Amino acid sequence: MIKLENGWTTTPQGFEAGAAMAGVKKEGRYDVSVIYSSVPAACGAVFTQNKFCAAPVLLDREVNKGAYAQAIVANSGCANACTGVKGYEDAVAMQAKTAELLGIEPQAVFVCSTGVIGAFMPMERINKGIEEAIDVMDENGGEIAAMGIQTTDTVIKHIAYEGEIGGKKVRFGGIAKGSGMIHPNMATMLTFITTDAAIAPDVLKRAVKKAADLSFNMVVVDGDTSTNDSMIVLANGMAENEIIVSEDHPDYPAFFEMLLACAKDLAKKIAYDGEGATKFLEVKVVGAKDFADAKKAAMAIAKSPLVKTAIFGEDANWGRITCAAGYSGADLDPEKASLTMGGVRLFENGLNNNVADEIMEPIMAQKEISLVMDLAVGEAEATVWTCDFSYDYVKINGDYRT
């Protein structure tokens, strides 16, 4: 498996993309994107568990009940959430417009939106944007399509891998957006992954759920689960490998390895680009009784405002970390638990190791910091990715609508 440095959702065979500046966001920014497969693609998707889910999520759950899809249309600048019947009708209209222009059935089109909650879609501008995005769509449109789904993102998030499945060259490509309101309960803000591998739709759907659980469900910025979170995967089979018909198929591990690699890379990029973030933090919990407990403790540490602000202040305040693990609800042995940060054991067998501040200063000054919390009650482990809380996080979210 090879990571491709400049890969997008258009890297696999048969995929095109385009975007338009429709004026949904500020002038001069891409805000409507279309991704298209020249042939029907097996589809798999997971969505937010927020009960105030956006209209496109309601529509896409129906699309995902089908075996195949062929396009994704997405906009940024307006979430189309908490918009009632009109919001759903607007999502259906986006789907219909895209399908008409591409010459495919409406139920083959996923619709995604991101942005401000509670505002109605500016449909005249949206429709014009869909037309323009499809008009410029080609195999080189992956980058502008990625730009078209950004909101407070400061970097374009994309990834691609190339590998071999059943003797055939196969490619995966993905884009994502997400910077704030990140505490997924399925996937993340918006994530689109394409592949030219051949896989049965039911197998793909299960693989997507599993990949989400091991990647996007292990990233957190601020503890808020969005109304619009969607992870959509399209597999069009144009690599012509023998179709993977079950998890027991000999080629399934290679397929899942590349899918998970894309998902993990994109998840980490979201944590790295957290709103106002100055640090990337990897939280690993080991010695747990099971994976659920390991994740519970890791998430408690990663979500803690006290931990996140200490990381921003470059303060190796290990007490905040052990405290979060202690209230997480995970089983642990307080007399045997330990904590290591940046390779330095700060806390061992329930006691302070009295590490000098001078030793920790260069570690805490780094952009990327890792910590390992050992609960000392089992063999299970889990890793969560997050970022710090800076002054800029408050500034960004204090005037988000303006």
DSSP reduced 3-state for 231:
strand
State the first-to-last Cα distance of the chain, in angstroms, to the nearest integer. Answer: 44
Phi and psi at 163, nearest 5°, equal -155, -170
User: How far is the CA of 329 from the CAs of 185, 294, 295, in angstroms?
Assistant: 18, 10, 11
DSSP element (H, E) containing 68 = strand 68-78
Q: Which two tokens stand for residue 275?
A: 């709103």
> Strands 368-374 and 280-288, how do they pair?
parallel
| Buried residues in 269-307 as b, exposed as e (16+ CB within 10 A) | bbbbbbbbbbbbbbbbbbbbeeeebbbbbbbbbbbbeeb
In 47-165, which ranges are continuous DSSP H helix?
55-63, 84-102, 123-135, 142-147
- Report the residue count for the chain: 402
DSSP reduced 3-state for 167:
coil
DSSP element (H, E) containing 297 = helix 291-303
Provide the annotated active-site residues. Answer: 188
CA atoms within 13 A on the CB side of 329: 6
Q: Is 292 in contact with 329 (CB distance < 8 Å)?
A: no
CA 165 from chain centre, in angstroms, equals: 25
d(CA 237, CA 199) in angstroms, rounded, equals 7
DSSP reduced 3-state for 325:
helix
User: How far is the CA of 57 from the CAs of 50, 226, 235, 289, in angstroms?
Assistant: 10, 11, 20, 35
Q: Please choose, from the candidates 78, 86, 82, the residue with its C-alpha nearest in 3D space to the C-alpha of residue 51.
A: 82
Q: Which two tokens stand for residue 323?
A: 């405290």
Q: Is 201 in contact with 43 (CB distance < 8 Å)?
A: yes
